[in-house]
Amino acid sequence: MRAYFKSGLNRVALRIAQVSFAVGTLFFLIYLFAPVDPVILWGIVFLVLFFGVYAVLVMTLFINLLVHFKDFEEHLVALVLSLLNLSIAFLYLQLL
């Protein structure tokens, strides 16, 4: 990852995407095997934080894409991977 993403912002964005994907998947799997109320509560808290952080993250990545146009491909890949994580979160919501 460090070799492809030269921008520190892109590396941070992908690290946030990895961590949020892992935590979201963990909540999803725990709920599938043990559908109890505390898991739902913590999952909702995580989703609220997730969408708040992701709104700022995606806007920042988009602005970074426009400002630093010479590294367009790198910034676009980081933006797409972050948005892919967002779509996975919506998929998990639909499956519940």
Give the pLDDT of the chain (96 residues) as one tens digit per residue.
556 667 777 788 888 888 989 998 998 889 888 888 888 888 888 888 888 888 898 888 888 888 888 877 888 888 888 888 888 888 887 887
Residue 36 per-residue DSSP state: -
Q: In this structure, is residue 51 part of a structural domain?
A: yes
Q: In this structure, is residue 91 part of a structural domain?
A: yes
The answer to pTM > 0.85 is no
pLDDT for res 79: 83
Q: In this structure, is residue 3 part of a structural domain?
A: no
Domain that holds residue 35: 8-95
Cα separation, 19 vs 12, whole angstroms = 11
Total domain count for the chain? 1
CA quadruple 76, 48, 36, 38: dihedral sign? positive
Q: Six-digit token pair at 10?
A: 């892109």
Q: In this structure, is residue 25 part of a structural domain?
A: yes
pLDDT for res 2: 59
Q: In this structure, is residue 2 part of a structural domain?
A: no
